[in-house]
Amino acid sequence: MHSFFSTDSDEPMEEQVKGAIEKGLKSITFTDHYDIDFPYDEEYKDKPQPIFVFDIEAYLKEIERLKLKYKDRLIIRKGIELGIKEDINDKINKQVNTKDFDFIIHSTHLLFGMDPYYLNFWEGKDVKYTLEQYFLRVLSNLDEWTDYDTVAHLDYIVRYIPEIRNYIKTYDDLSKSAGEGADCNCNLNAHDNDNNHSDYNVTEVFDILKSSNHISLSEINKMRDEVLQKINAYLINIYKDNELTVKKILDKIIDNNKSLEVNTAGFAYKIGHANPHEFVLKMYYEMGGRSITIGADAHSKEKIAFAFDKTEEILKEIGFNGYYIYTGRKSEFIKF
């Protein structure tokens, strides 16, 4: 999980610890973002610069303090999410002593020096080509930096594809219109003032939504299911297009005795799947991959252990009977 040591989180470490205890977790691992050379961003102009790196000494000291304070209630481990890109090896070696950590996450956030999270990343880019390049980047990043335990959100980029964002926005609008459970005759146009779809192809579903003034809850739910099905079909096509590269990535993880991360934040982003998608998790299993780590990528208290139950069911169905945690860089199997 993350804390305010990550540029994109405001949650104090101690709040995360309290949240984990409230959720009944036995242990957690802090894995704050350490992305050297992350490009400057206006959104974080008030945060310590450069962004996405932090004072490692202060970080470890705060974890030590919390470990001691909560030692009877929660096991707390020291991890770090290293952002890997081209020619980063020397810089990481100078700034990070991996021996200080229990767990190292290998993460690819940047492509062409930019994070696909930003809308302007996608301007003028061919989506198919960009996705191919992302998976190839992950593959070469595995050789760029080899001192790690697990590979994070293998398909990180899919969360931010304009088409997927558009589906998610549609799903959100439908959810808002559905309200909380009660059967309603919602006036959908009333919820239609904060959208900025104009940059993208508006989905068929959204067209239906916009043209309808009144619609029943069951119809909304049907439309929500349709959106999820469309996302799923879109994603599966991506993995099929990139199957060879994804296979090579999984091969490398297995050959080098590393783990594959199942990042449940995909559910929080409402793509309806973990990252990576079950298509990739099945491939990994069929290739003999058994070592997985599970992370919610929680940047705030509310997201701790998000969709862990659902994820466990999905993993069991594929054949996995447990997952791994790391202490002092050694893995331990935890049965479901």
CB of 230 to Zn ion, least distance (A): 25
CB of 159 to Zn ion, least distance (A): 10
CB of 265 to Zn ion, least distance (A): 8
CB of 117 to Zn ion, least distance (A): 10
Residue 38: half-sphere exposure toward Cβ, Cα within 13 Å: 27
**By CB under 5 A, which span of 46-54, 105-113, 130-138, 310-318 interacts with Zn ion?**
105-113
User: Which residue, 122 or 156, has its beta carbon nearer to Zn ion?
Assistant: 156
Q: What is the DSSP string of 2-60?
A: --TTSTT----HHHHHHHHHHTT-SEEEEEEEE-TTPPP-GGGTTS-SSTT---HHHHH
User: Which residue, 70 or 117, has its beta carbon nearer to Zn ion?
Assistant: 117
Q: If DSSP codes are grouped into helix, strand and coil, which group holds residue 103?
A: strand
User: Which residue, 7 or 107, has its beta carbon nearer to Zn ion?
Assistant: 107
Q: How far apart are CA 145 and CA 15, in angstroms?
A: 32
Residues of this chain, 142-181, that bind Zn ion according to CB under 5 A: none
CB of 326 to Zn ion, least distance (A): 17
User: Which residue, 6 or 245, has its beta carbon nearer to Zn ion?
Assistant: 6
- Beta-carbon contacts of 133 under 8 Å, excluding residues fewer than 6 positions away, are 111, 112
**By CB under 5 A, which span of 104-112, 166-174, 203-211, 309-317 interacts with Zn ion?**
104-112
User: Which residue, 41 or 243, has its beta carbon nearer to Zn ion?
Assistant: 41
The stretches of the chain forming alpha helices (DSSP H) are 13-22, 56-69, 89-95, 127-144, 162-178, 204-211, 217-241, 243-255, 265-268, 278-286, 308-318
CB 158 within 8 A of CB 193: no
CB of 294 to Zn ion, least distance (A): 14
9, 107, 242, 275: which one contacts Zn ion (CB under 5 A)?
107
**By CB under 5 A, which span of 101-109, 127-135, 140-148, 179-187 interacts with Zn ion?**
101-109
Q: How far apart are CA 106 and CA 87, in angstroms?
A: 15
Q: How far apart are CA 228 and CA 208, in angstroms?
A: 16
User: Which residue, 149 or 173, has its beta carbon nearer to Zn ion?
Assistant: 149
CB of 75 to Zn ion, least distance (A): 23
User: Which residue, 203 or 275, has its beta carbon nearer to Zn ion?
Assistant: 275
Residue 50: is the preceding peptide bond cis (ω within 30°)? yes
**By CB under 5 A, which span of 100-108, 133-141, 196-204, 272-280 interacts with Zn ion?**
100-108
User: Which residue, 109 or 230, has its beta carbon nearer to Zn ion?
Assistant: 109
In this structure, is the dihedral angle defined by the CA atoms of residues 117, 235, 140 and 104, taken in order, positive or negative? positive
- Beta-carbon contacts of 303 under 8 Å, excluding residues fewer than 6 positions away, are 265, 268, 296, 297
263 counts as binding Zn ion under rule CB under 5 A: no
Nearest-CB residue to Zn ion? 107
The dihedral region occupied by 333, where left means phi > 0, alpha psi between -120 and 50, and beta the remainder, is beta
User: Which residue, 107 or 311, has its beta carbon nearer to Zn ion?
Assistant: 107
**By CB under 5 A, which span of 69-77, 103-111, 215-223, 298-306 interacts with Zn ion?**
103-111
CB of 268 to Zn ion, least distance (A): 13
- Beta-carbon contacts of 168 under 8 Å, excluding residues fewer than 6 positions away, are 231, 269, 270, 271
Q: Kindly state the number of chain residues that form the binding site for Zn ion, as judged by CB under 5 A.
A: 1
CB of 156 to Zn ion, least distance (A): 6
| For helices 204-211 and 217-241, angle between their N-to-C axes, nearest 10 degrees | 160
The residues pairing with 79 across neighbouring beta strands, listed in sequence order, are 31, 103
The residues that touch Zn ion, with contacts defined as CB under 5 A, are: 107
